[in-house]
Chain A
Amino acid sequence: MKVLLPTVLAHYTRGVREVDARGATLAEVFAELDRRFPGLRFRVIDEQGAVRPHIKVFVNRVQERSLDAALAPADEVLVVAALSGG
Protein backbone atom coordinates (compact mmCIF):
# COMPACT_ATOMS: atom_id res chain seq x y z
CA MET A 1 0.00 0.00 0.00
CA LYS A 2 1.00 3.60 -0.36
CA VAL A 3 2.34 5.39 2.73
CA LEU A 4 2.72 9.17 2.69
CA LEU A 5 5.19 10.60 5.21
CA PRO A 6 5.67 14.15 6.52
CA THR A 7 8.81 16.13 5.73
CA VAL A 8 10.04 15.78 9.32
CA LEU A 9 10.51 12.06 8.69
CA ALA A 10 11.98 12.38 5.22
CA HIS A 11 15.58 12.07 6.37
CA TYR A 12 14.86 8.46 7.32
CA THR A 13 13.75 7.73 3.73
CA ARG A 14 16.46 9.77 2.02
CA GLY A 15 13.99 12.44 1.08
CA VAL A 16 11.30 10.15 -0.29
CA ARG A 17 7.88 11.01 1.09
CA GLU A 18 5.86 8.32 -0.60
CA VAL A 19 6.83 4.71 0.02
CA ASP A 20 5.21 1.35 -0.53
CA ALA A 21 4.75 -0.95 2.42
CA ARG A 22 3.04 -4.20 3.33
CA GLY A 23 1.08 -5.18 6.39
CA ALA A 24 -2.29 -6.42 7.54
CA THR A 25 -2.45 -3.76 10.25
CA LEU A 26 -0.96 -0.33 10.89
CA ALA A 27 1.31 -1.95 13.47
CA GLU A 28 2.69 -4.28 10.80
CA VAL A 29 3.15 -1.43 8.36
CA PHE A 30 5.18 0.58 10.88
CA ALA A 31 7.20 -2.51 11.78
CA GLU A 32 8.09 -2.99 8.14
CA LEU A 33 8.91 0.67 7.68
CA ASP A 34 11.22 0.51 10.69
CA ARG A 35 13.06 -2.47 9.24
CA ARG A 36 13.68 -0.53 6.05
CA PHE A 37 14.15 2.87 7.66
CA PRO A 38 15.56 2.21 11.16
CA GLY A 39 14.41 4.68 13.78
CA LEU A 40 11.33 5.92 11.94
CA ARG A 41 8.80 4.00 14.02
CA PHE A 42 9.95 5.32 17.40
CA ARG A 43 9.64 8.87 16.15
CA VAL A 44 5.93 8.25 15.50
CA ILE A 45 4.95 5.60 18.04
CA ASP A 46 6.03 5.68 21.66
CA GLU A 47 7.38 2.81 23.74
CA GLN A 48 3.91 2.04 25.08
CA GLY A 49 2.62 1.47 21.56
CA ALA A 50 0.64 4.68 21.16
CA VAL A 51 0.81 7.19 18.33
CA ARG A 52 2.58 10.22 19.78
CA PRO A 53 0.62 13.38 20.62
CA HIS A 54 0.29 15.84 17.74
CA ILE A 55 0.94 13.10 15.22
CA LYS A 56 -2.02 11.75 13.29
CA VAL A 57 -2.38 8.69 11.11
CA PHE A 58 -5.05 8.59 8.45
CA VAL A 59 -6.21 5.53 6.49
CA ASN A 60 -7.94 6.51 3.28
CA ARG A 61 -8.23 10.07 4.67
CA VAL A 62 -9.98 8.92 7.88
CA GLN A 63 -8.09 9.29 11.15
CA GLU A 64 -7.17 5.97 12.69
CA ARG A 65 -6.12 5.83 16.34
CA SER A 66 -5.61 2.10 16.73
CA LEU A 67 -2.49 0.45 15.39
CA ASP A 68 -4.47 -2.80 15.30
CA ALA A 69 -6.71 -1.43 12.56
CA ALA A 70 -6.92 -3.85 9.64
CA LEU A 71 -5.60 -2.68 6.29
CA ALA A 72 -6.20 -3.76 2.73
CA PRO A 73 -3.47 -3.71 0.07
CA ALA A 74 -5.09 -0.82 -1.77
CA ASP A 75 -5.40 1.42 1.30
CA GLU A 76 -3.49 4.66 1.58
CA VAL A 77 -1.79 5.57 4.87
CA LEU A 78 -1.04 9.21 5.58
CA VAL A 79 1.11 10.31 8.51
CA VAL A 80 0.82 13.95 9.58
CA ALA A 81 3.09 15.58 12.16
CA ALA A 82 1.86 18.87 13.54
CA LEU A 83 4.39 21.64 14.11
CA SER A 84 3.56 24.14 16.80
CA GLY A 85 5.16 26.54 19.19
CA GLY A 86 7.67 29.30 18.50
Chain B
Amino acid sequence: MPRLLVLAGTRKGLFVLEADRRRAKWRMEGPHFLGQAVHHAVLDPRDRRTLLAAVKAGHLGPTVFRSQDFGRTWEESARPPAFPKAAEGERGDTVDHVFWLTPAHASEPGRWYAGTSPQGLFVSGDAGRHWESVAGFNRHPDRRKWIGDTQDAPPDGATLHSINVDPNNPRHLYIGMSTGGVFESRDGGESWSPLNKGVAADFLPDPDAPYGHDPHCLRVHPLSGDVFQQNHCGIYRLDRVRSRWERIGRAMPIEIGDIGFPLALHPRDPKTMWVFPMDGGTVWPRTPIGGKPAVFRTRDAGASWERQDRGLPPAQGWFTVKRQALVADALKPAGVYFGTTGGEVWASFDEGARWHCLVLHLPQIHSLETALAD
Protein backbone atom coordinates (compact mmCIF):
# COMPACT_ATOMS: atom_id res chain seq x y z
CA MET B 1 0.00 0.00 0.00
CA PRO B 2 1.46 3.43 -0.88
CA ARG B 3 2.69 5.46 2.02
CA LEU B 4 1.88 9.07 2.80
CA LEU B 5 4.88 11.22 3.66
CA VAL B 6 4.96 14.67 5.21
CA LEU B 7 8.38 16.26 4.78
CA ALA B 8 9.15 18.90 7.40
CA GLY B 9 12.02 21.21 6.54
CA THR B 10 13.16 23.01 9.66
CA ARG B 11 15.77 25.46 10.82
CA LYS B 12 17.78 22.55 12.20
CA GLY B 13 17.19 19.65 9.82
CA LEU B 14 14.70 17.55 7.89
CA PHE B 15 12.11 15.31 9.54
CA VAL B 16 9.92 12.80 7.73
CA LEU B 17 6.48 11.88 9.04
CA GLU B 18 4.95 8.76 7.59
CA ALA B 19 1.53 7.12 7.67
CA ASP B 20 -0.43 4.63 5.63
CA ARG B 21 -3.36 5.83 3.55
CA ARG B 22 -5.74 5.65 6.49
CA ARG B 23 -3.60 8.26 8.27
CA ALA B 24 -4.44 6.65 11.61
CA LYS B 25 -0.92 5.89 12.81
CA TRP B 26 2.09 8.09 12.26
CA ARG B 27 5.76 7.67 12.84
CA MET B 28 8.55 10.12 12.40
CA GLU B 29 12.13 9.59 11.38
CA GLY B 30 15.05 11.97 11.27
CA PRO B 31 16.60 14.36 11.70
CA HIS B 32 18.44 14.40 8.45
CA PHE B 33 21.09 17.15 8.22
CA LEU B 34 20.88 17.87 11.94
CA GLY B 35 21.89 21.43 12.66
CA GLN B 36 21.52 22.54 9.06
CA ALA B 37 18.67 24.67 7.75
CA VAL B 38 16.40 22.81 5.36
CA HIS B 39 14.22 25.36 3.62
CA HIS B 40 12.39 22.93 1.38
CA ALA B 41 12.28 19.20 0.70
CA VAL B 42 10.21 17.74 -2.12
CA LEU B 43 9.57 14.20 -3.34
CA ASP B 44 9.18 14.03 -7.11
CA PRO B 45 5.55 13.11 -7.84
CA ARG B 46 6.59 11.86 -11.28
CA ASP B 47 8.70 8.96 -10.05
CA ARG B 48 7.69 8.95 -6.35
CA ARG B 49 11.33 8.28 -5.55
CA THR B 50 13.63 11.25 -6.13
CA LEU B 51 13.79 13.39 -3.02
CA LEU B 52 15.52 16.77 -3.11
CA ALA B 53 16.38 18.91 -0.10
CA ALA B 54 17.62 22.51 -0.04
CA VAL B 55 20.26 22.61 2.70
CA LYS B 56 22.46 25.24 4.24
CA ALA B 57 24.80 24.79 7.18
CA GLY B 58 25.65 27.86 9.21
CA HIS B 59 27.77 30.14 7.11
CA LEU B 60 28.80 27.48 4.63
CA GLY B 61 27.69 27.74 1.06
CA PRO B 62 24.22 26.51 0.13
CA THR B 63 23.56 23.25 -1.62
CA VAL B 64 21.00 20.68 -2.67
CA PHE B 65 21.03 17.05 -1.62
CA ARG B 66 19.19 14.25 -3.37
CA SER B 67 18.12 10.81 -2.27
CA GLN B 68 16.73 7.85 -4.20
CA ASP B 69 15.95 5.78 -1.12
CA PHE B 70 13.80 8.12 1.00
CA GLY B 71 16.73 9.54 2.91
CA ARG B 72 18.67 6.44 3.78
CA THR B 73 21.50 7.84 1.69
CA TRP B 74 22.06 11.31 0.29
CA GLU B 75 24.13 12.58 -2.61
CA GLU B 76 25.10 16.22 -2.89
CA SER B 77 24.49 18.04 -6.16
CA ALA B 78 27.66 18.06 -8.20
CA ARG B 79 26.83 21.62 -9.23
CA PRO B 80 24.48 23.40 -6.80
CA PRO B 81 22.58 26.52 -7.86
CA ALA B 82 25.05 29.38 -8.29
CA PHE B 83 24.94 32.67 -10.15
CA PRO B 84 27.31 33.15 -13.08
CA LYS B 85 30.64 34.70 -12.25
CA ALA B 86 30.49 38.41 -12.92
CA ALA B 87 32.71 40.09 -15.46
CA GLU B 88 35.73 41.96 -14.15
CA GLY B 89 34.58 45.16 -12.44
CA GLU B 90 30.93 44.12 -12.23
CA ARG B 91 29.01 43.12 -9.13
CA GLY B 92 27.98 39.51 -9.13
CA ASP B 93 25.33 37.83 -6.99
CA THR B 94 25.98 34.93 -4.67
CA VAL B 95 23.35 32.44 -3.60
CA ASP B 96 22.84 32.66 0.15
CA HIS B 97 20.42 29.77 0.32
CA VAL B 98 18.20 27.68 -1.88
CA PHE B 99 14.67 28.46 -0.78
CA TRP B 100 12.27 26.67 -3.11
CA LEU B 101 12.24 23.48 -5.18
CA THR B 102 9.67 22.61 -7.83
CA PRO B 103 9.50 19.56 -10.09
CA ALA B 104 8.77 20.65 -13.65
CA HIS B 105 5.79 19.51 -15.72
CA ALA B 106 4.76 15.85 -15.72
CA SER B 107 5.89 15.63 -19.34
CA GLU B 108 9.45 16.62 -18.39
CA PRO B 109 10.80 13.91 -16.09
CA GLY B 110 14.02 14.80 -14.31
CA ARG B 111 13.56 18.54 -14.83
CA TRP B 112 13.39 20.68 -11.69
CA TYR B 113 13.42 24.37 -10.83
CA ALA B 114 14.99 26.06 -7.81
CA GLY B 115 14.49 29.53 -6.38
CA THR B 116 17.08 31.19 -4.19
CA SER B 117 17.88 34.06 -1.91
CA PRO B 118 18.70 36.57 -3.25
CA GLN B 119 16.18 36.16 -6.02
CA GLY B 120 17.50 33.77 -8.62
CA LEU B 121 16.02 31.01 -10.76
CA PHE B 122 17.83 27.79 -11.60
CA VAL B 123 17.00 24.66 -13.54
CA SER B 124 18.22 21.09 -13.45
CA GLY B 125 17.73 18.63 -16.27
CA ASP B 126 19.11 15.62 -14.41
CA ALA B 127 16.98 15.42 -11.29
CA GLY B 128 19.04 17.80 -9.21
CA ARG B 129 22.58 16.59 -9.91
CA HIS B 130 23.57 19.71 -11.85
CA TRP B 131 21.92 23.13 -11.78
CA GLU B 132 22.09 25.86 -14.40
CA SER B 133 21.31 29.54 -14.09
CA VAL B 134 18.14 30.51 -15.97
CA ALA B 135 19.70 33.33 -17.94
CA GLY B 136 16.36 34.68 -19.14
CA PHE B 137 15.63 35.69 -15.59
CA ASN B 138 18.96 35.96 -13.78
CA ARG B 139 20.49 38.06 -16.54
CA HIS B 140 17.34 39.97 -17.47
CA PRO B 141 18.25 43.66 -17.89
CA ASP B 142 15.40 44.68 -15.57
CA ARG B 143 16.06 42.10 -12.84
CA ARG B 144 17.83 44.56 -10.54
CA LYS B 145 14.87 46.93 -10.77
CA TRP B 146 12.40 44.13 -10.15
CA ILE B 147 14.09 42.73 -7.05
CA GLY B 148 15.13 46.00 -5.40
CA ASP B 149 18.14 46.12 -3.14
CA THR B 150 19.00 44.62 0.22
CA GLN B 151 17.18 47.45 1.97
CA ASP B 152 13.94 46.10 0.51
CA ALA B 153 14.61 42.54 1.63
CA PRO B 154 12.97 40.74 4.56
CA PRO B 155 15.21 39.99 7.57
CA ASP B 156 16.00 36.47 6.37
CA GLY B 157 16.79 37.68 2.88
CA ALA B 158 14.73 38.28 -0.24
CA THR B 159 13.61 35.11 -1.96
CA LEU B 160 12.42 33.77 -5.27
CA HIS B 161 9.71 31.34 -4.28
CA SER B 162 6.43 29.82 -5.42
CA ILE B 163 7.74 28.42 -8.71
CA ASN B 164 4.68 27.00 -10.42
CA VAL B 165 4.26 25.29 -13.77
CA ASP B 166 1.00 25.64 -15.68
CA PRO B 167 -0.42 22.10 -15.83
CA ASN B 168 -1.68 22.87 -19.33
CA ASN B 169 1.61 24.20 -20.70
CA PRO B 170 5.07 23.06 -19.54
CA ARG B 171 6.68 26.27 -20.79
CA HIS B 172 4.31 28.55 -18.89
CA LEU B 173 5.97 29.34 -15.56
CA TYR B 174 4.98 31.52 -12.63
CA ILE B 175 7.28 32.78 -9.87
CA GLY B 176 6.81 34.93 -6.79
CA MET B 177 9.42 37.18 -5.28
CA SER B 178 9.49 38.76 -1.86
CA THR B 179 10.06 41.39 -2.77
CA GLY B 180 9.53 41.93 -6.46
CA GLY B 181 6.06 40.57 -7.20
CA VAL B 182 4.64 37.83 -9.38
CA PHE B 183 6.17 37.22 -12.81
CA GLU B 184 5.37 34.79 -15.59
CA SER B 185 7.15 33.31 -18.56
CA ARG B 186 5.44 31.63 -21.49
CA ASP B 187 8.60 30.39 -23.15
CA GLY B 188 10.16 28.17 -20.54
CA GLY B 189 11.98 30.98 -18.74
CA GLU B 190 13.55 32.81 -21.65
CA SER B 191 11.47 35.97 -21.18
CA TRP B 192 9.49 37.29 -18.22
CA SER B 193 6.70 39.77 -17.54
CA PRO B 194 5.36 41.24 -14.31
CA LEU B 195 1.91 39.98 -13.32
CA ASN B 196 0.76 42.27 -10.54
CA LYS B 197 -2.18 44.33 -11.84
CA GLY B 198 -4.82 44.71 -9.18
CA VAL B 199 -2.56 43.76 -6.27
CA ALA B 200 -2.22 46.25 -3.44
CA ALA B 201 1.22 47.35 -2.35
CA ASP B 202 0.62 49.58 0.66
CA PHE B 203 4.35 50.14 1.02
CA LEU B 204 4.81 51.58 -2.48
CA PRO B 205 3.96 55.18 -3.42
CA ASP B 206 2.47 54.15 -6.77
CA PRO B 207 -0.81 52.23 -6.27
CA ASP B 208 -0.47 50.81 -9.79
CA ALA B 209 3.21 49.92 -9.64
CA PRO B 210 3.98 47.17 -12.17
CA TYR B 211 6.35 45.36 -9.80
CA GLY B 212 7.83 45.63 -6.31
CA HIS B 213 4.95 43.77 -4.66
CA ASP B 214 5.25 41.17 -1.93
CA PRO B 215 3.53 37.89 -2.76
CA HIS B 216 3.95 35.56 0.18
CA CYS B 217 2.72 32.38 -1.49
CA LEU B 218 1.52 31.73 -5.04
CA ARG B 219 -0.22 28.49 -5.97
CA VAL B 220 -1.42 27.17 -9.34
CA HIS B 221 -4.06 24.48 -9.23
CA PRO B 222 -2.60 21.23 -10.56
CA LEU B 223 -5.71 20.36 -12.59
CA SER B 224 -7.40 23.60 -13.60
CA GLY B 225 -4.42 25.94 -13.77
CA ASP B 226 -6.26 28.55 -11.68
CA VAL B 227 -3.87 30.91 -9.89
CA PHE B 228 -4.14 32.25 -6.34
CA GLN B 229 -1.85 34.13 -4.02
CA GLN B 230 -1.57 35.09 -0.39
CA ASN B 231 0.10 38.44 -0.55
CA HIS B 232 1.53 40.81 2.05
CA CYS B 233 -1.55 42.89 1.19
CA GLY B 234 -4.39 40.39 0.88
CA ILE B 235 -5.60 37.20 -0.77
CA TYR B 236 -6.09 37.21 -4.53
CA ARG B 237 -7.38 35.14 -7.44
CA LEU B 238 -6.02 35.77 -10.91
CA ASP B 239 -8.55 36.65 -13.60
CA ARG B 240 -6.63 34.98 -16.38
CA VAL B 241 -8.62 36.63 -19.18
CA ARG B 242 -7.79 40.14 -17.99
CA SER B 243 -4.47 39.15 -16.35
CA ARG B 244 -5.67 41.05 -13.33
CA TRP B 245 -5.85 40.00 -9.68
CA GLU B 246 -9.10 40.17 -7.73
CA ARG B 247 -8.91 40.52 -3.96
CA ILE B 248 -10.94 37.56 -2.73
CA GLY B 249 -9.70 38.23 0.80
CA ARG B 250 -12.27 41.03 1.03
CA ALA B 251 -14.77 38.33 1.93
CA MET B 252 -12.83 37.33 5.04
CA PRO B 253 -14.32 38.42 8.40
CA ILE B 254 -13.30 42.02 8.93
CA GLU B 255 -11.93 41.31 12.40
CA ILE B 256 -9.61 38.68 10.90
CA GLY B 257 -8.52 40.38 7.71
CA ASP B 258 -6.69 38.70 4.86
CA ILE B 259 -3.04 38.99 5.82
CA GLY B 260 -0.97 35.84 6.12
CA PHE B 261 1.90 33.86 4.69
CA PRO B 262 0.73 30.50 3.31
CA LEU B 263 -2.03 29.29 1.04
CA ALA B 264 -2.87 25.67 0.23
CA LEU B 265 -5.03 24.38 -2.61
CA HIS B 266 -7.32 21.39 -2.64
CA PRO B 267 -5.80 18.62 -4.78
CA ARG B 268 -8.95 18.17 -6.89
CA ASP B 269 -11.42 21.02 -6.34
CA PRO B 270 -10.00 24.29 -7.71
CA LYS B 271 -12.51 26.33 -5.73
CA THR B 272 -11.35 25.04 -2.33
CA MET B 273 -8.32 26.41 -0.52
CA TRP B 274 -7.02 27.16 2.95
CA VAL B 275 -5.19 30.13 4.45
CA PHE B 276 -3.79 30.84 7.89
CA PRO B 277 -4.49 34.49 8.73
CA MET B 278 -2.12 36.44 10.93
CA ASP B 279 -2.14 39.75 12.70
CA GLY B 280 -0.98 42.36 10.20
CA GLY B 281 -1.86 45.35 12.35
CA THR B 282 0.31 47.94 14.03
CA VAL B 283 3.84 46.50 14.02
CA TRP B 284 2.87 43.31 12.18
CA PRO B 285 3.04 40.74 15.00
CA ARG B 286 2.50 37.99 12.40
CA THR B 287 0.74 35.83 14.99
CA PRO B 288 -2.78 34.38 15.07
CA ILE B 289 -5.30 37.14 15.63
CA GLY B 290 -5.87 37.45 19.38
CA GLY B 291 -3.68 34.41 20.02
CA LYS B 292 -6.43 32.13 18.67
CA PRO B 293 -5.01 30.06 15.82
CA ALA B 294 -7.42 29.30 13.01
CA VAL B 295 -7.34 28.08 9.46
CA PHE B 296 -9.88 29.59 7.07
CA ARG B 297 -11.30 27.65 4.15
CA THR B 298 -13.16 28.73 1.08
CA ARG B 299 -15.11 26.29 -1.10
CA ASP B 300 -16.22 28.87 -3.64
CA ALA B 301 -12.91 30.34 -4.82
CA GLY B 302 -12.96 33.06 -2.20
CA ALA B 303 -16.55 34.29 -2.34
CA SER B 304 -16.94 33.16 1.28
CA TRP B 305 -14.69 31.80 4.02
CA GLU B 306 -15.29 29.62 7.07
CA ARG B 307 -13.23 29.46 10.23
CA GLN B 308 -11.74 26.02 11.02
CA ASP B 309 -10.25 25.90 14.50
CA ARG B 310 -11.71 22.77 16.09
CA GLY B 311 -8.89 21.04 17.96
CA LEU B 312 -6.51 23.99 17.76
CA PRO B 313 -5.47 25.91 20.91
CA PRO B 314 -8.49 28.04 21.91
CA ALA B 315 -6.27 30.80 23.31
CA GLN B 316 -2.65 31.84 23.90
CA GLY B 317 -1.46 30.35 20.64
CA TRP B 318 1.11 32.73 19.23
CA PHE B 319 3.00 30.75 16.61
CA THR B 320 3.43 31.72 13.01
CA VAL B 321 2.91 29.53 9.96
CA LYS B 322 5.42 30.41 7.28
CA ARG B 323 4.74 30.62 3.55
CA GLN B 324 5.85 27.06 2.76
CA ALA B 325 4.27 25.43 5.78
CA LEU B 326 0.59 24.89 4.87
CA VAL B 327 -0.14 22.06 2.44
CA ALA B 328 -2.75 19.47 1.49
CA ASP B 329 -2.30 15.83 0.60
CA ALA B 330 -3.85 14.05 -2.39
CA LEU B 331 -6.01 11.57 -0.48
CA LYS B 332 -9.80 11.50 -0.10
CA PRO B 333 -10.89 13.42 1.83
CA ALA B 334 -7.92 15.73 1.50
CA GLY B 335 -5.62 16.01 4.48
CA VAL B 336 -4.41 19.47 5.41
CA TYR B 337 -1.22 20.11 7.37
CA PHE B 338 0.57 23.09 8.82
CA GLY B 339 3.87 23.49 10.61
CA THR B 340 4.58 26.22 13.11
CA THR B 341 7.49 28.36 14.14
CA GLY B 342 7.12 26.59 17.49
CA GLY B 343 7.97 23.23 15.92
CA GLU B 344 4.49 21.69 15.87
CA VAL B 345 2.87 19.84 12.98
CA TRP B 346 -0.92 20.02 12.93
CA ALA B 347 -3.07 17.89 10.65
CA SER B 348 -6.68 17.57 9.60
CA PHE B 349 -7.90 14.45 7.83
CA ASP B 350 -11.33 15.87 6.99
CA GLU B 351 -10.42 18.95 4.98
CA GLY B 352 -9.99 21.20 7.99
CA ALA B 353 -13.05 20.26 10.06
CA ARG B 354 -10.97 18.99 12.98
CA TRP B 355 -7.27 19.39 13.80
CA HIS B 356 -4.82 17.07 15.52
CA CYS B 357 -1.29 17.77 16.66
CA LEU B 358 0.99 15.18 15.06
CA VAL B 359 4.34 16.33 16.43
CA LEU B 360 5.67 18.67 19.09
CA HIS B 361 9.08 20.11 19.83
CA LEU B 362 10.66 20.20 16.40
CA PRO B 363 12.86 23.13 15.46
CA GLN B 364 11.18 26.08 13.77
CA ILE B 365 9.39 24.71 10.73
CA HIS B 366 10.19 26.35 7.42
CA SER B 367 8.22 24.09 5.11
CA LEU B 368 5.95 21.09 4.75
CA GLU B 369 5.37 18.99 1.68
CA THR B 370 3.20 15.92 1.30
CA ALA B 371 3.90 13.03 -1.03
CA LEU B 372 2.67 9.56 -1.86
CA ALA B 373 5.42 6.98 -2.03
CA ASP B 374 5.22 3.41 -3.25
Contacts and interface: CB of A to CB of B under 8 A. Distances in A.
Interface stretch (A13-21, A39-47, A63-71): A39-47
Interface string A37-66: 011001111111110111100000000000
A8 B92 contact: no
B94 A42 contact: no
Interface in B243-301: none
Tell me if A's interface is mostly helix, strand, loop or mixed.
loop
Which of B57, B60, B80: most chain A Cβ within 10 A?
A: B60
Question: What range describes how many residues of B lie at the interface?
Answer: 10 to 19
A74 interface: no
A72 interface: no
Contact of A48 (B59, B77, B94): B94
Nearest to A85: B58
Contact of B85 (A48, A54, A83): A48
Interface string B60-103: 11010000000000001110101111100000111100000000
Contact of A82 (B59, B84, B94, B95): B59
A81 interface: yes
B78 A38 contact: yes
Given A47-B82, A47-B95, A48-B92, A81 B61 contact: no
Contact of A42 (B58, B63, B84): B63
Contact of B63 (A39, A53, A54): A39
Contacts of B76: 38-39
Contacts of A83: 58-59
A47 B92 contact: yes
Contacts of B57: 8, 43
Tell me if B's interface is mostly helix, strand, loop or mixed.
loop
Contacts of B77: 39
A45 B59 CA distance: 11
Contacts of A49: 85
Given A42-B80, A47-B92, A55 B59 contact: yes
A14 B102 CA distance: 31
Contacts of B82: 42, 46-47
Nearest to B58: A83
Nearest to B60: A43
A20 B334 CA distance: 56
Nearest to B76: A39
B36 to A, nearest CB: 9
A52 B84 contact: no
B92 A43 contact: no
B61 A42 contact: yes
A58 B156 CA distance: 29
Which of A45, A47, A50, A54: most chain B Cβ within 10 A?
A: A47
Interface in A19-46: 38-39, 42-46
Contacts of B80: 39, 42
A47 B58 contact: no
Given A39-B76, A42-B82, A47-B85, A52 B92 contact: no
A84 B35 CA distance: 12
A44 B57 CA distance: 11
Given A8-B58, A81-B58, A47 B83 contact: yes
A47 B361 CA distance: 36
A81 B94 contact: no
B63 A43 contact: yes
Nearest to A53: B59
Nearest to B91: A48
A18 B95 CA distance: 28
Contacts of A54: 58-59
Q: Which 8 A-B pairs have the closest CB atoms?
A: A54-B59, A47-B82, A46-B94, A43-B60, A48-B92, A43-B61, A42-B61, A39-B76
13 contacts: A39-B76, A42-B82, A45-B61, A46-B95, A47-B82, A47-B83, A48-B83, A52-B59, A55-B60, A82-B58, A83-B58, A84-B58, A85-B58
Given A44-B61, A48-B85, 9 more contacts: A38-B76, A42-B80, A46-B82, A46-B94, A47-B83, A50-B94, A55-B60, A82-B59, A84-B58
